[in-house]
Amino acid sequence: MNPDDFFSTPEEAVKQLALELRELREMLREMSAKLSRIETRAKRTFPSGFPAKPKRPQGTQPDSGLEPPTISPDRALQLYDELVIMVRNGNRDGAERQLGSMGVSDLALLVKELGLSAGKSKPSSKFLISRILGRAKESVMLSKHASRDDSTSATPPVDPTPPTHT
């Protein structure tokens, strides 16, 4: 038995492990750098042996994993208008049921058409439904506020000049 294999305290053992990890990390860095240099030289020398990866056309997004939507963007906006009417009439549960019957790809299209962020690359239907219903409630609140502004503008304006005393 080698006396160097045993440490007198756990702190010494931790220090020794940390030192070994640093040494291994440095060796891996050196190996990675050497591998990169060898690969670069091989690509320059034998370009036919390393075909270029096809690049995505700019502006396209990687496949999100969702099947294509079954509704058109125009139909999605019509559906949203129907949902807003349902929410305005107090039928939020009906709107939620209607959205729940739709597929994730259709919900994602509707979210996109509304200008909302879909969040993750594969969002859940629950998340998308909450985003759509939130936007519908916002629309209802804004329309109520706009109708209140219309009713106040219907009152005749008050003359700001003070009456004259004679």
Q: Work out the pLDDT band at 22, boundaries 50, 70, 90.
A: very high
Quote the pLDDT of residue 34.
95
Task: Provide long-range contacts, Cβ within 8 A and 24+ apart, for 67-70.
Answer: 67/103, 67/105, 68/105, 69/103, 69/105, 69/106, 69/108, 69/109, 70/103, 70/105, 70/106
Domain assignment of residue 4, yes or no: no
Question: Per this entry, what is the length of the chain?
Answer: 166
Quote the pLDDT of residue 17.
92
Domain assignment of residue 83, yes or no: yes
Look-up of token digits 């291994």: 24
Q: How far apart are CA 87 and CA 139, in angstroms?
A: 10
Quote the pLDDT of residue 81.
92
- Both 79 and 145 in a single domain? yes
Higher pLDDT, 55 or 22: 22
- Both 44 and 87 in a single domain? no
- Both 107 and 40 in a single domain? no
Give the number of domains in the chain: 2
- Both 78 and 27 in a single domain? no
- Both 29 and 97 in a single domain? no
Quote the pLDDT of residue 33.
93
Here the tokens at position 159 are 């003359």
- Both 80 and 31 in a single domain? no
Quote the pLDDT of residue 1.
42
Q: How far apart are CA 80 and CA 98, in angstroms?
A: 11
Q: Which of 137, 160, 127 is nearest to 90 (CA)?
A: 137
Q: Work out the pLDDT band at 157, boundaries 50, 70, 90.
A: low
3-state SS, residue 19: helix
Q: Are 132 and 83 in contact (CB under 8 A)?
A: yes
Q: Work out the pLDDT band at 154, boundaries 50, 70, 90.
A: low
Q: Give the pLDDT confidence of 89-137 residue by residue, as tens digits.
A: 998 899 999 999 988 889 888 988 888 887 777 788 898 899 899 999 9
- Both 44 and 77 in a single domain? no
Domain assignment of residue 6, yes or no: no
- Both 42 and 86 in a single domain? no
Quote the pLDDT of residue 124.
85
Q: Which of 102, 58, 59 is nearest to 82 (CA)?
A: 102
Q: Residue 148: enclosing H or E segment and its boundaries?
A: helix 125-153
Q: Which of 118, 92, 59, 47 is nearest to 100 (CA)?
A: 92
Query: pTM higher than 0.75 for the full model?
Result: no
| Domain coverage including residue 111 | 73-151
Q: Give the pLDDT confidence of 42-95 residue by residue, as tens digits.
A: 988 988 888 777 665 655 554 556 688 888 989 988 999 999 999 999 988 999
Neighbours of 38 (CB within 10 A): 10
Q: Does 148 score more than 60 pLDDT?
A: no
